Amino acid sequence: MVQIGLPMQTQEPYGRPQFRPLWRAACDAGLPVAVHIEMGVGITHPPHPVRITRTYSHHVGYQAMTYIWHLLNMIAEGVFEEFGDLRVVWADGAEDMLTPFIWRMDTFGRPHLEQTPWAPDLPSSYLPEHVYFVHGRLDGPGDAPFAGDWLTMTGKQGMLLFGSSYPRLAARHPPGDLPQAWSARQRAQVLGGTRPGLYGLQAAANRPPA
């Protein structure tokens, strides 16, 4: 066993107190928590804060926002302050939504940290070593010329993990399927250089070039 799996669909965001025993159990076991969308219907909770979408395209568009909704709530509720060893992997991407929303949280939080004494640091400071994303084909600007620069914002290149998502439509087939605008170092980082010990694996033989 290398991780604890949780569904993206919940009745309430993961920062709420009732989920504290899960985070404690994960830390005690030394296992990361992976949050992945579950595609069941009928008995599962809606996949988005806006309930069930009418079309698949809307579902895919909103899905990333749901992961960020959970993450920002965990930061605001002090989850990472309380559980310093907690590592969460958002398994269906969403890192493309991270930068604008964490910028907003930092901008508001800087003069108002006294409102959250249980999370006294800037929201973005809780990201390193706690938060990871499995990079998906739909994430980010694709092969736009600024894709490499975009990856450096908010430290995202240190949070991305490769996951094929096979056999889904968004499945990737590296290395040629990764954005061409990324540098060789960025590509190597995502393909194995990001926190190699996260799942008890050794560092990749081809380390990112200096």
Q: pLDDT value at position 18?
A: 96
What pTM was estimated for this model as a whole?
0.84
**Residue 144: inside a domain, yes or no?**
yes
**Residue 207: inside a domain, yes or no?**
no
Mind listing the pLDDT tens digit for each residue in 60-110?
Answer: 777 788 889 899 999 999 999 999 999 999 988 888 889 999 999 998 877
**Residue 210: inside a domain, yes or no?**
no
**Residue 119: inside a domain, yes or no?**
yes
CATH code, 111: 3.20.20.140
Domain tally, the chain:
1
Residue 206 has pLDDT above 50, yes or no: no
**Residue 29: inside a domain, yes or no?**
yes
Strands (E), the chain: 4-7, 33-36, 88-90, 131-135, 160-162
Q: How confident is the model over 104-119, as a mean pLDDT? A: 83
Question: What order do you get walking across the sheet with 131-135 strand by strand?
Answer: 4-7, 33-36, 88-90, 131-135, 160-162
**Residue 136: inside a domain, yes or no?**
yes
Q: pLDDT value at position 141?
A: 83
Q: What's the alpha-carbon Rg for the chain, to the nearest Å? A: 17
Residue 142 has pLDDT above 60, yes or no: yes
> Could you list the residue range(s) of the whole structural domain that residue 19 is in?
4-199
Q: What is the mean pLDDT of the chain?
A: 83
Mind listing the pLDDT tens digit for each residue in 170-179?
Answer: 666 555 678 8
Which is nearest to 70 in space by CA: 44, 40, 47, 54?
A: 47
Mind listing the pLDDT tens digit for each residue in 28-57?
Answer: 999 999 998 876 555 567 666 666 777 777
**Residue 57: inside a domain, yes or no?**
yes
**Residue 209: inside a domain, yes or no?**
no
Please, what's the b/e burial string for 87-103 (b: 16 or more CB within 10 A of its CB; e: otherwise)? bbbbbbbbbbbbbebbe
